[in-house]
Structure 1
Amino acid sequence: MKDFIVAEVQRLIKKFKTRDPFLIAEKLGVHVVPWDFTDEVQGMYKYERKNKFIFINNNLGKLCNFVMGHELGHSVLHPKHNASFLKKNTFFPESKYERQASQFAVELLLPDECLSEFKDTHLSVYEIAEIYGVPRELAHLKNFNNR
């Protein structure tokens, strides 16, 4: 499945010429709705009557793109499976759907080229991940050996 996720992310990047999850969602016709969730809920994906919705917490700060990428992952990989993205399982996904959505977001936001960009620094993969908006706890989901 990981190779499928990588291929799907690469297909979308090539098709839409962007890694921005908000722009990709717009081009795919996914409705993005800012929402005032409690701190516990960061985002949610909902499929209803052939329409896809991503509800995203207004107060995410630097995690905004990652949460959007995660929810976009649900819309692409699990289009008819409703899912909420809770803080408690953000970094420790319990279900395969949550893990796959996080893998999608990591592949989207953490390009392979980023390692070569930082090769002459002493930054770890985890620190580089944070620079690209990926939580360090999820950097291990990046598939660097696939190309």
Structure 2
Amino acid sequence: MYSREQIILITKKLTKKYKTNNPLELSECLNVDIIALPLGNIYGFYKYTHRNKQIYINSDLDYRNKIIVCSHELGHAVLHPRENCPFLKTYTYFENRLELEANLFGTYLLIQTINDDFMTYNQIINAFNVAEEIATYKMT
């Protein structure tokens, strides 16, 4: 189980080391394969198989939503590398530790550098269904 502080530190270290907070770019740096396929009502999921980390993203999503899904699933790849975890279209996650940690990872990763042309702070915290005070905690 990871604390908020640990997740913040992990995202900061990754973005500093690879000089990006773009989850698509970070996935490549971390040798996590991104596979885009039509997935119906599923936005994406993370899969670990035969020592390979794979993020599946619904190819029908727009770029903004692909970034959101990828950041969440990258959280699983980094924090829970041997678990297979679904990310459902409704953004109503299973209330378990793995999903909450992946949500926090995705939130902290994306709010490190907010670009108003891409997503606002409120859009990010709403996408991950995290309380504003949790996301604000990261900003300190």
TM-score tier after normalising by the smaller chain length? 0.7 to 0.9
> Counterparts of 2:130 and 2:51 in 1: how far apart (Å)?
31
Q: Which amino acid aligns with 2:121?
A: I
Say which one has the larger Rg.
1
Distance in 1, matches of 2:11 and 2:99, equals 16
Against the structure 1 CA distance between its residues 108 and 145, is the aligned structure 2 distance closer, same or farther, given a 3 Å change threshold? closer
CA distance in 2: counterparts of 1:60 and 1:66, whole angstroms: 10
Match of 1:71 among 70, 73, 82: 73
TM-score normalized by the length of structure 1? 0.80
Give the root-mean-square deviation of aligned CA atoms.
2.4
Partner of 2:23: 21
Q: Does the 8 A contact of 1:3 with 1:146 survive in 2? A: no
State the percentage of identical aligned residues.
Answer: 31
**Matches of 2:110 and 2:72 in 1, distance apart?**
10
Match of 2:87 among 81, 85, 103: 85
Counterpart of 2:127, as a letter, is P
TM-score (norm 2): 0.83
Equivalent residue number for residue 53 of structure 1: 54
Which of 113, 121, 137 is residue 129 of structure 2 equivalent to?
137
- 8 Å Cα contact 1:106-1:134 kept in structure 2: no
1:10: which partner in 2? 12
Cα contact 2:103–2:128 (8 A) shared by 1:
no
What amino acid maps onto 1:18 in structure 2?
T
Structure 2 residue runs of 5 or longer lacking an equivalent are none
Alpha-carbon offset, residue 136 of structure 1: 7.1
Equivalent residue for 1:100? Answer: 101
Task: Point out 4+ residue stretches in structure 1 off by more than 6 angstroms.
Answer: none
| Aligned length, in residue pairs | 133
Q: 1:99, 1:22 → 2: CA distance? A: 21
Distance in 1, matches of 2:32 and 2:138, equals 31
